[in-house]
Chain A
Amino acid sequence: MNYYVKRVLQSLFTIWAVLTITFVLIRWMPGGPLDYLMAQFVQGNLGPSGTGVDTQERIAAFERMAEVYINFDPTAPLYVQYFEYVGDVLTGNLGRSIWYQQPVEEVLFPAIPWTVFIGAVAIFISFISRVIVGAALAYKEGSKLDIGGTTLLIWGHSIPFYVVAILLLYTFGYQFGWFPVSGRYNPDPPAGLNWPFIAGILHHAALPMVALAWASFGAGAIAMRANAIQILGEDYLRAAKLRGITSKRITLLYVARNAILPMYTQMLIQVGFIFSGSIILEMVFEYRGVGWYMFQAIQNNDYPLMMGCFLLITVTIAIAMLVADLTYGLVDPRVRRGESSESF
């Protein structure tokens, strides 16, 4: 079969598998969503309560509740439950958050842009800086700068980014008070396209962005350095110099481009992990993005919300991987997919 068709089908299969797994988890996990819902219900936290309600009515009410919160009616035949669930999720209905008493999508979707904003800018910053730092070290290979820089990078890379996040927060947030320690924007200026409001957003996002950029910077800069060193030793570089090509052109079109292209896939994978990576980060900075809600959902046993986050995370990863695979051959002419590496 055609490699690309195969690859698309594979991704669809992954997404389907994830859906099915969430369904199984919701349905049968001991102490899982269904049990939890039942317990809430029995305790009278949800649904009609009081003594005036008879059992029949309570059961009927429970079925309705289940339908609302977890998208299917646990008393219907299994396949009906399954199709109901899958159908609802595919049409964007992710159930109802127990904690917020709102549909999951209404809780989650407004949070997405915030997380994407932080993630995208962080990836961008990290990408640019690792290209520059990596290339600079490669050009100075073997010098004191290179040895010191590489050591620092390896050392820095071994610090987990949440430690960095906490340190940043402690130093610049609490000690110096230069940056806010929680939240997404300033409440005072009216929301909208005005500078004070936007400045507030940037102010709040700065520390999380730096912390997140840190997460991929060290390893990325080391990889860039290695790529660039390899290319600096290539014969075609020497051949180009002999042909009289200017060093500016060689740096840009030969070294930089060829060293950056292999990092493309890696960057797309980072994009894929934008939501899963946000959980700890947004918890530390109390930044109300997808990660923060996910964390809250875990704390509050808000299963419908949790499942919504879980779906969002996996689908993003599957799509990013797919895009990486499908487009890499176009971005980097050296690579053609489906290629057999056999020499024959």
Chain B
Amino acid sequence: MSGTTEENVDSESPRSVRSEGNTILEVRDATVSFEMERGESRVLNGVDLSVERDEVLGIVGESGSGKSMLANALLDAVVDPGKTSGSVRYFPPDGRDPIDVLELNDDELRTFRWEEISIVFQGAMSSFNPTMKIRDHFAETIDAHDADPEECIERAYDLLSELYLDADRVLDSYPHELSGGMQQRTLIALSLILEPDVLVMDEPTAALDLLMQRSIISLLDRLQREYDLTLVFITHDLPLVAHLADRIAVMYAFELAEIGPAEEIITNAAHPYTRMLLGSTPNLDAPVDEMRVIEGSSPDPVAPPTGCRYHPRCPISRDICAESSPEFEDVSAEHQAACFFHEEASDAVTYPIGEDNDAIETEGSSTSSRDYGEPILSLDDVTVEFEGDQSILDLFDEPEYVRAVDDVSLDVHEDDVVALVGESGCGKTTLGKTIIGVHRPESGNVTYRGQDIWEARDSHREAEISFSEIRGALQMIHQDPGSSLNPNKRVIHSLRKPLKKSQPDLERVEQERRIMAMLEYVGMSPPEDYANRYPHQLSGGEKQRVALIRALLMNPDVILADEAISALDVSLRVEMMELLLDLQGRFNTSFVFISHDLSNARYLAEKADGRIAVMYLGEIVEIGTVEQIIHDPQHPYTQALRWATPDLNPRNESEESPIRAIDIPDPKDPPSGCRFHTRCPEAREICRQVHPTNISTNGSEVACFRADPDHDYWDSPSIVNEESDDDETSMSTLD
């Protein structure tokens, strides 16, 4: 559509040349407060900030740092009963008088928003009315602003195709009929429909897969230049904006900690907090040993620390830090940091990206392929199917089946870590659940220590190892630990249950002693206090620990961790993974770790000397050691995931997107031949016809013809450039 061939998501060289001194938004002393019973909660405290015309400003902070409040304050859109004070001035590009946003009345605000500044929220799904078609969302917005319907709809079509969507199809869909990535792009189109000058994006990609996030970032980069947009991009994920943003502002405890040009912030951050944040971010390039954990937790908005708000956690704080709060000091002309001792920070807090950390070698720690004994768990040609959706309109059709897992074989060994990575919908969760005996495969065998799990279930007593024993040995922790803990039961109660099951004759006192010891061990002390709490009195990370203890008390051989750390804040992730590794060594447990994030997978797998398996549309397309997958990926899909994983090295200027299509094909009707051929940059005619089987190359297994230097593939003609006439592979008709 609109002449978009395969050259799709590209991004051009640095964007240093920008019009200077051309402020479009000026924020002064912006404060947002909520009245609460225990006092005033200031969730944004006196922020001063200028946004330049046509720049991309990244605002980075952990959850609860006030970054969303800042985004909302820009449009005076803080939810009731929050109060916004200070001033936000908007300077229209056509030389009209500046607008005091916080002074506008309701009617003026109604026109101001969306026509001058619009906003994209985090959850795209929850931003659409579920019972209204997408077209009506566009139409009502145009109508509400008395804009010219024809012109606007035309723009909608342009925007949607620009975002690689089939405009007609999208407009006639209900929101839930679109995938998460499509919804998010549709939402971006909807926010630009009235040609605003500023687009505020509040964690617009947080809920999406990395590959989709990265693709959207590339698209935004292009849209921003094409439509002369000013972008304010809010995120918890510093590496994600590193390449997109011109400037980055870092927030800590409801205040700005540091602001400056993106490259300077990344290579030479001045504020100790920023440096800690950079150091704790899992990163594919940095050696794992140099990542570290941020100590302590973010402060309470009702009673923030006195003086510098970071002082309780700051490694270089001195007495003065607790007494008076630091003002912004110039680090360089455009780089300010709110720290008294910012000159010392770079020596005190190091992180692996920066000028003096130029060459990062990849240590050959995991090249040695370890000697695995008999597997604990073994999957043999396993296939799992689901019935697809239906409506009464397909009354006479047979239901369609989705092969969530297709013919997969995999072994899990003693003390092993297998990380399953892939986009959502690739079947990694289903495979994980099949591994631990929750899903029954349609065909193929799952064996536990030589005993077929499902045979054990069917034959009850005759099996050598009983089904309940097997299920006890295979445990799981979920992405959302809250949902797996009974909200009405104290922690101790939830923990006693598995213990009763695994060791029924344990005395009550002994039970409690063990639980306390475990709580203590995972760092929840005093354990007596935590044991008597209810789940809602625990933080996300603490709930996850309780879920982990609960799984461990069953004395399992294998624990499935399904996106177990994705919901946690960046600074907590490394900590949680450290804990997993520690427990793995101590209790001799194997982990199957599911993640869409290659850097998390790499962190765990590398430290535990395990493997990474890359899944695509129900198949494992590549499996191998960290060394092989991260540093020498063979499969084009693994290479794409590698590309999509944000890295902080500013010299790794984002190259062109390696995939030809953004959206994953419909799993109900997977492409013929190699399933990746619709997106693969190396696809050739033969890939469309022949299904590649796993090819072993020095230890790793790859399902791609390219791994075999003598394959017919090399004589087959390329199909990369023929999108326009082949519907199935065309960018514009993907779904």
**Chain A interface residues (CB < 8 Å from chain B):** 1-5, 234-236, 238-240, 242-246, 249, 253-254, 257-258, 261, 326-327, 329-330, 332-334, 336-340, 342-344
Contacts and interface: CB of A to CB of B under 8 A. Distances in A.
A266 B595 CA distance: 40
Given A242-B113, A245-B141, A334-B176, A236 B389 contact: no
Given A4-B395, A342-B430, A344-B425, A236 B386 contact: no
Contacts of B393: 330
A4 B141 contact: no
Contact of A332 (B126, B127, B131, B424): B131
A238 B118 CA distance: 13
B399 A242 contact: no
B333 interface: no
A241 to B, nearest CB: 8
Contact of B141 (A243, A339, A340, A344): A243
A243 B111 CA distance: 9
A5 B79 contact: no
Contacts of A249: 140, 144
Interface in B375-410: 384, 386-399, 402, 404
Given A242-B113, A344-B386, A333 B176 contact: yes
Given A244-B144, A344-B429, A326 B132 contact: no
Contact of B399 (A234, A243, A338): A338
A53 B59 CA distance: 104
A4 B390 contact: yes
Contacts of B399: 1-3, 338
Instruction: Please provide the 4 A-B residue pairs with the shortest distance between their CB atoms, ordered closest to farther.
Output: A344-B404, A235-B126, A344-B430, A338-B390
B389 A4 contact: no
B130 interface: yes
Contacts of B397: 2
A336 B390 contact: yes
Interface string B87-117: 0000000000000000000000011011000
Contact of B130 (A246, A258, A336, A337): A258
A41 B524 CA distance: 83
Interface of B: 75, 77, 79, 110-111, 113-114, 118-119, 121, 123, 126-132, 140-141, 144-145, 174, 176, 190, 384, 386-399, 402, 404, 424-425, 427, 429-430
B453 to A, nearest CB: 19
Given A243-B114, A326-B392, A258 B427 contact: no
Nearest to A3: B390
B129 A258 contact: yes
A338 B392 CA distance: 10
Contact of B394 (A2, A238, A326): A2
B131 A257 contact: yes
A138 to B, nearest CB: 16
A244 B389 contact: no
Contact of A242 (B77, B111, B140, B387): B77
A336 B130 CA distance: 13
A242 B126 contact: no
Contacts of A342: 386, 404, 430
Contacts of B176: 333-334
B368 to A, nearest CB: 35
A236 B136 CA distance: 14
Contact of A5 (B141, B384, B395, B425): B395
Contact of B129 (A236, A246, A336): A236
B113 A244 contact: yes
A106 B131 CA distance: 46
A329 B391 contact: yes
Nearest to B428: A344
Contact of B144 (A5, A246, A329): A246
Contacts of B132: 253
Contacts of A339: 389-390
B391 A245 contact: no
Contacts of A4: 390, 392, 395
A160 B329 CA distance: 73
A337 B395 CA distance: 11
A244 B115 CA distance: 10
Contacts, number: 113
A243 B138 CA distance: 10
A333 B394 CA distance: 15
Contact of A236 (B126, B140, B145): B126
A340 B387 contact: yes
B439 to A, nearest CB: 8
Given A3-B399, A245-B144, A235 B127 contact: yes
Given A338-B390, A340-B386, 7 more contacts: A2-B394, A2-B397, A235-B127, A239-B127, A340-B388, A342-B404, A344-B429
Contacts of A238: 77, 79
Nearest to A249: B140
Contact of B392 (A254, A329, A333): A329
Contacts of B387: 3, 338, 340
A254 B75 contact: no
B110 A244 contact: yes
A258 B131 contact: yes
A338 B389 contact: yes
Given A242-B75, A243-B113, A243-B141, A337 B121 contact: no
Nearest to A5: B395
28 contacts: A2-B395, A2-B397, A234-B126, A235-B121, A235-B123, A235-B126, A235-B127, A236-B127, A236-B130, A240-B140, A242-B118, A242-B119, A243-B114, A243-B144, A243-B190, A244-B110, A244-B145, A245-B140, A327-B392, A329-B391, A330-B391, A330-B393, A334-B130, A338-B388, A338-B389, A338-B399, A340-B388, A344-B402
Contacts of A1: 398-399
Most buried by B among A5, A244, A333: A244
B121 to A, nearest CB: 6
A1 B399 CA distance: 7
B429 A343 contact: yes
Contacts of A254: 129
B328 to A, nearest CB: 31
A66 to B, nearest CB: 43
B32 to A, nearest CB: 16
Contacts of B392: 4, 326-327, 329-330, 337
A290 B474 CA distance: 58
A2 B123 contact: no
Contacts of A333: 130-131, 174, 176
A265 B177 CA distance: 22
B126 to A, nearest CB: 4
Nearest to A238: B79
B114 A242 contact: yes
Most buried by B among A5, A239, A261: A239
A334 B131 contact: yes
B673 to A, nearest CB: 22
A173 B425 CA distance: 65
Contacts of B119: 242
B255 to A, nearest CB: 25
Contacts of A245: 140-141, 144
Contacts of A329: 391-392
B291 to A, nearest CB: 29
Nearest to A257: B131
A253 B144 contact: no
A336 B177 CA distance: 10
A227 B235 CA distance: 32
A230 to B, nearest CB: 12
B184 to A, nearest CB: 13
A249 B110 CA distance: 14
A318 to B, nearest CB: 18
A41 to B, nearest CB: 50
A83 B394 CA distance: 35
A8 to B, nearest CB: 9
A119 to B, nearest CB: 26
B99 to A, nearest CB: 16
A254 B130 CA distance: 9
